[in-house]
Amino acid sequence: MSEALSQPVRPSATSDLRDWLNVLAARGDLAVAHENMSLIDEIAAVAKRTEREKAVLFPRPGGHPIPVVANLFTQREWVADALGVAETHLLSHVLSAATNPVPSTEVASGPCQDIVHMDVDLLKQLPIPKHNELDSGPYITAGLLISRNPSTGVQNVAIHRCQVSGPNRIGVLLLPRHTLAFFRMAEQAGHALEIAIAIGVHPALLLASQAIAPLDFDEMHIAGALLGRSIDVVKCKTNAVRVPAQAEIVIEGRILPQVREPEGPFGEFPQYYGPRGAREVIEVDAITHRKHPIFHTIVGGSFEHLVMGGVPREATLLQHLKRSFPSVLDVRLTRGGTCRYHLVVKIDKANEGEPKNIIMGAFSGHYDIKQVVVVDKDVDISSSEEIEWAVATRFQADRDLVLVTGAQGSKLDPSSRDGISAKLGFDATAPITTDPLAFRRIQAKGADDVVLANVLEQSPGAAFGRIMAALS
Ligand code: MN
């Protein structure tokens, strides 16, 4: 990894949402929808249809003056582009950012506070969409929920699904992670937890929020390292939380102690609904935003949702595996496996049996991992077709399969028994052999280097006509 750690951040790394949208527009990757598409279902439907090709900007959604943007990433490669690194260096760049954080810089003012609303009405002031069919209503899905450790003041940055429950009320799902830890500390002391939700930020901040960092490790500092420059932050108007100065929109509020209200259902990353339940509640105190802000939304279960969580997990899993297995070259959480459950590991195999050790190592890397396929270095792990080919030609179930029953898995996997899950591993590597033809991939010599424009007719129809005329 040392060669990768020294890879410099390219100057193309952008710093706010608008910079990234400018990049996308300049290279033809930003679609613009007609005005007045409905915030209920319609925006999500269009974003879903373009999730593999284009980011989409929706002007005047539902007549609202604030435009909505979706699909900041439609391909894994875009994540690398947004960070200004080559895709081959993406994981090492993410890892290096987590180990070399760049502290934020507090500034006196920022565009995110150009306009201040102390009289809050969420659905009037912001264009908040409803996404999947059976979602309980409009949700804020791309907001960085920033909170402060009540005793140390260290901030945490995470994304939580936020249901609009009333003009100044949000139902929030706090899974057992850092925001919940801070909230429990506040609640036990009888206090609300001050928070802010920053919407419309650079992709690096969204990615950093998904890093597997320890408690009391401010993810904003990882974002600074991802971008190669410190993130400017400003203090909220109504509380002590510091938010990115360049954010488009900030919602300030408090998670109320001893209050739980219904939240959900909501369409989640496994492509199923997370159920309704009694959840924590945010009371909103203020909304601040730029003069003419942009609202970012993530359609639940869209590719943007999957890859945003997948890339930081890949980085952590790669680091975990490399520590024990020097032969590991790269990992991928596949799209079909919801960028969470199915892992592919590429290795430069040195010893027989090693792939099975790697499979067991991967299961211990994260409880979400349900299936591991280990392949050789000649397999392109960004291609599900290539991975299937490796299984088809280098794997025998009676010899190369690893099966573990009754392990901890993902509670969001509906086939698990409340999170109790089996684990499946495939050693799809070729045996180490001295036979030069065994497991040697066929190859049309020069196929990769051929320049088609130099060898194919520009007008094939006319050329075909001439050839057939001569043959008649
Ligand atoms: Mn954290």
Condensed to tens digits (0 to 9), the pLDDT of residues 94-103 reads 999 999 999 9
Q: 129: Cβ–Cβ under 8 A, 6 or more apart, which residues?
A: 39, 40, 43, 44, 61, 68, 138, 139, 297
The model's pLDDT over 119-168, given as tens digits with 9 standing for 90+, comes to: 999 999 999 999 999 999 999 999 999 999 999 999 999 999 999 999 99
pLDDT value at position 176?
86
Quick check: 12 pLDDT over 60? no
Q: How far is the CA of 195 from the centre of ligand 1 (A)?
A: 14
Residue 171 Cα to ligand 1 midpoint, Å, equals 20
Average pLDDT in the chain? 95
Q: How many Å lie between the centroid of ligand 1 and the Cα of residue 213?
A: 6
Domain 325-428, CATH: 3.40.1670.10
Half-sphere exposure of 97 (CA within 13 A, CB side): 35
Q: Which residues of 25-43 are buried (b: 16+ CB within 10 A; e: fewer)?
A: eeeebbbebeeebebeebb
Lowest mean pLDDT among 96-100, 211-215, 220-224, 466-470: 211-215
Q: Is the pLDDT of residue 441 over 90?
A: yes
| Predicted local confidence at residue 419, as pLDDT | 93
Strand ranges across the sheet with 232-235:
105-106, 232-235, 242-244
Domain ranges for the chain: 85-298, 325-428
* pLDDT at 7 > cutoff 80: no
C-alpha of residue 281 to centroid of ligand 1, in Å? 20
CA of 116 to the centre of ligand 1 (A): 28
What topology is assigned to 85-298 in CATH?
Pnp Oxidase; Chain A (2.30.110)
Distance from the alpha carbon of residue 154 to the mean position of ligand 1, in angstroms? 10
Å from CA of 146 to ligand 1 middle: 10
Measured in Å, residue 264 CA sits from the centre of ligand 1 at 24
pLDDT score recorded for residue 397: 98
Percent of the chain with pLDDT over 70: 97
d(CA 94, CA 223): 9
CA of 216 from ligand 1 middle (Å) equals 7
pTM for this model (two decimals): 0.92
Query: For residue 14, what pLDDT band results from cuts at 50, 70 and 90?
Result: low
Same fold, 85-298 and 325-428: no
Q: Are 296 and 200 in contact (CB under 8 A)?
A: yes
Task: For residue 53, give the nearest of 29, 77, 69, 70 by alpha carbon.
Answer: 29
pLDDT in tens, 376-387: 999 999 999 999
Residue 71: count of CB within 10 angstroms of its CB: 28
| CA of residue 59 to ligand 1 center, whole Å | 34
Q: What is the mean pLDDT of residues 340-369?
A: 97
* Ligand 1 midpoint to CA 244 (Å): 16
Q: Is the pLDDT of residue 280 over 90?
A: yes
Q: Residue 15: its pLDDT value, please?
A: 82
